[in-house]
Structure 1
Amino acid sequence: MLFHYHFWTPYVEETEKFYKNIGFRISQRIGKYQGDFQAFNPPLTWDDFRDKSIIFRIIEARKGAINITFGYGKKIKFDHIGFLVSENEQNIICEKADKMNWTVAKGERRTFITTPYHFRIELQTSEDIVDSMNDNIKIQKLKLETKRKGLEDDLSILFGTPIKNIQTIIGNTVTITEAVIKDSLPKKLVDPNGVIISNESLHSI
């Protein structure tokens, strides 16, 4: 199940505010302060630490079966998308990635696969990474811009089935241009990192 994407961005506070305004809850904030990584989780608000020059490594926003993370970067950069899979599925996918000569970095809680398309794929096996497995709120489709052709075919090989909720266009950058979610958004919106957020009933890609 496609559940996740991650960006680096200079607009960390603005990105958090955007997703909170469309119903996401902030589950954690981890940032580097005075040389150490520390938690600044809710109920703390930005008014509690805005003047402390924290470099946020990760802020996590959750809603239903969606998990979106972002951290500080000097410029906007799309880093990875994430799929929730079983342990058996993860092992099979990793074996296929090895055969495709894609780099696999296995961890206890998550695994990252580096693609030749200049972004990574996260494989997550723990359902507690999302608030709910309810299909009423989930990522319906992601539209990705890439610099080279072949991503959709390669994803079909990697996962052993067509990944119909990933659609690509060829362009001059690597990013997510649109996220269609199964939710009750009244209109299309654009997050601070240029991602169009739309409702499946309002727009189909």
Structure 2
Amino acid sequence: MLFHYHFWTPHVEETERFYTNNGFRIYQRIGKYQGDFQNFDPPLVWDDFREKDILFRIIEARKGCINVTFGYGKKSIFDHIGFWVNEKEQEFICQNAVNLNWNVDRGERRTFITTPYSFRIELQTNKDLVDSVTDNIKIGELRLEIMKKGLEGDLSILFGKPVNSIKSIIGETVTIREAVIKDFSSNPLVDPNGVRILN
């Protein structure tokens, strides 16, 4: 199940505000301050640390079955999407990635697959990354802009079945153009990184 996306962004505070204004809760903030990575998690708010020169590595926002993360970057760059899988599915998908000659980076907590479409796919077996695994609030679909054809076919090979939650258009950049999020705002909204969110 598709549950996650990650951006690097110069609009860190604005991105947090957008998601919290739309019902997400901030689970954690990790940033580099005076040479060390430190936590600035809630109940801390931006007024508590805005004057400090913190380089945020990750801020994690959660709502229902959704986990959105972002960290500081000089410009808005879409990095990866994440899927929940069980361990058997993970093995199957990783083998398919190897067969496609895609790089597989297995970690203790998560596995990343590098696609030839200039973004990565995270495989996650831990369900403690969301507030609820049964909630109706979930990502129904992501519409990606990419620079070459073939994504949907390759995802079908990777997962061994069609991945209906990912659609693509060909364009000049690689990003998420639209996210269909069930039980979001009734009006389409655009986050600070250009993701148009539809209910």
Q: What range describes the TM-score normalised by the shorter chain of this pair?
A: over 0.9
Partner of 2:124: 124
What RMSD, in angstroms, separates the aligned Cα atoms of the two structures?
0.6
- SS of equivalent to 1:128: coil
1-side partners of 2:38 and 2:196: how far apart? 31
Alignment-derived partner of residue 138 in structure 1? 138
Contact 2:22 2:184 in 1 (8 A): no
State the alpha-carbon separation in 2 of the partners of residues 68 and 37 from structure 1.
20
CA offset at residue 169 of structure 1?
A: 0.1
Tell me the SS of whatever aligns to 2:50.
helix
Unaligned regions of 5+ residues in structure 1, if any? 200-205
Percent identical? 72
For 2:82 and 2:184, the matched residues in 1 are separated by 23
Structure 1 position 183, deviation (Å) = 0.7
DSSP 3-state at the match of 2:185? coil
Helix, strand or coil for the counterpart of 1:112?
Answer: strand
Map of 1:203 onto structure 2 = none
State the Cα deviation string for residues 163-198 of structure 1 (Å, max 9, x = none): 001000000000000000111412000000000011
Q: TM-score, with normalisation over the residues of structure 1?
A: 0.96
The equivalences for 1:175-186 within 5 A come to 175-186=175-186
Report the equivalent of 2:88.
88
Q: Which amino acid aligns with 1:87?
A: E
Secondary structure of the corresponding residue to residue 23 of structure 1: coil
Aligned residues: 199
Distance in 1 of aligned mates of 2:77 and 2:137: 25
Secondary structure of 1:16's counterpart equals helix
AA partner of residue 174 (structure 1): V
Gapped runs of 5+ residues in structure 2?
A: none
Aligned residue number for residue 101 of structure 1: 101
Alignment-mate amino acid for residue 164 of structure 1:
N
Moved over 4 A (4+): none
The Cα shift of 1:134 comes to 1.8
Partner of 1:46 in structure 2?
46
* One-letter amino acid of the counterpart of residue 108, structure 2: E
Contact between 2:138 and 2:182, CA under 8 Å: does it hold in 1?
Answer: yes
Paired position in structure 2 for 1:29: 29
In the TM superposition, what whole-angstrom CA distance separates every residue of 1:35-84 from its partner, at most 9, and x where no partner exists?
00000000000000000010000000000000000000000100000000
Distance 1:158 1:119 in 2: 15
Helix, strand or coil at the partner of 2:181: strand
Letter in 2 for 1:185: S
Q: For residue 6 of structure 1, what is the aligned residue in structure 2?
A: 6
Measured after TM superposition, the shift of residue 135 of structure 1 is 4.1
